[in-house]
Structure 1
Amino acid sequence: MSDDLPLTAEDVAEIAAILEHSGFRELDLSTRRFRLRVAKGDGAQDGLTQEWQWAGASGEIAADVAGVQADPAAICSPLPGTFYRSPQPGAPPFVNAGDTVGEETVIGIIETMKLMNPVHAGRSGTIAEIFITDGTLVTKGQALVRLA
């Protein structure tokens, strides 16, 4: 691994999301320029905690990537990544405002680390509003659509 590996906050969020859904408890990555430790919580808190330590930095920065509380009628992103409203470019979107959805209805896809993850509605209702445009970067817990 190159010591000049560019690592953005988005990369760290994607790593955290993958770790959260894996069987591993933590990841510790070190180079001459930085150290990244991502570990699953101990049950006392939700989500993952990340510690970043950059060479020459005065300390560590901790970031909580637990989901954000949203409108109860909202369907939120289960992980960070790029949200797509349709299965492929030029295809009709999975859902539009006014569409009726069931628990298993796919409302979009989130691309994370080159993996396409379908987002299911999770409950029945009618799409009242779509908050995210196609190809937009989203964070875990960000509202994607709102049901009526």
Structure 2
Amino acid sequence: MELSVTELRELVAALSQSDIVELTLKSSDFELTLRKPGAVVAAAPGPAQEVVVSAPPAAVEPAPPTAPAVPPVAPPGKGSDVISITSPMVGTFYRSPAPEEPPFVGVGDRISAGQTVCIIEAMKLMNELEAEVSGEIVEILVENSQPVEFGQTLMLVRPV
């Protein structure tokens, strides 16, 4: 069984919108377990069994923020003619597909909708982020290999 990055993204999105707390996929090639935050796994009687229990929201204490949240809006002074490309997840930002490869985009580059502009690594999965609009890259606000938060503005694009 093969699972593409797109199929994996769809699976994660479907899981996040459902009441399912944990999902495990097994094949001869791999085993993948997805678990929602706040799920508590307890050992059950019998060999190699798990019971997943949803923790009540009050029982889960949020981790203290490591950095202030960055709003997904254009910084002051950049004008309203730019659109923000924001991170869809927490992870590590990469400008190129590999360290020795050139960056996907640079300031001043023209991009088209659907074009890969960066990679966000989350849980050892490389997630290509595609532009939703065509335009020109005005500014790249994140350094290569820098951790990013959900909703953090990564790049500013002037639509054409």
The structure whose Rg is larger is 2
CA distance in 2, matches of 1:136, 1:62: 23
Contact kept, 8 Å, 1:76 with 1:142, in 2: the verdict is yes
Aligned with 2:110 (options 100, 109, 132): 100
Quote the residue 2:148 is aligned against: 138
Cα 1:81/1:87, change in 2 over 3 Å: same
Quote the residue 1:29 is aligned against: 40
Q: TM-score, normalised by structure 1?
A: 0.61
Structure 1 residue 124 corresponds to structure 2 residue 111: no
Provide the identity percentage.
Answer: 34
Contact kept, 8 Å, 1:26 with 1:37, in 2: the verdict is no
Cα 1:52/1:135, change in 2 over 3 Å: farther
Deviation at 1:61, TM superposition (A): 3.0
CA distance in 1, matches of 2:156, 2:108: 11
Quote the residue 2:73 is aligned against: 70
Contact kept, 8 Å, 1:106 with 1:118, in 2: the verdict is yes
Contact kept, 8 Å, 1:19 with 1:25, in 2: the verdict is no
Q: TM-score, normalised by structure 2?
A: 0.57
CA distance in 2, matches of 1:101, 1:146: 12
CA deviation map 1:59-105 (0-9, x unaligned): x5358xxx944236110011110110000012100000000011111
Matched position secondary structure for 1:21? helix
Count of residue correspondences: 110
Cα 1:141/1:126, change in 2 over 3 Å: same
CA distance in 1, matches of 2:150, 2:10: 12
Matched position secondary structure for 2:127? strand
> Which sections of structure 2, spanning at least 5 residues, go unmatched?
1-8, 22-38, 43-52, 64-69, 75-81
Quote the residue 1:61 is aligned against: 61
Residue identity in the other structure for 1:70: V
Matched position secondary structure for 1:128? strand
CA deviation map 1:27-57 (0-9, x unaligned): 31257xxxx968xxxxxxxxxxx9474xxxx
CA distance in 1, matches of 2:12, 2:73: 20
Matched position secondary structure for 1:133? coil
CA distance in 2, matches of 1:118, 1:99: 18
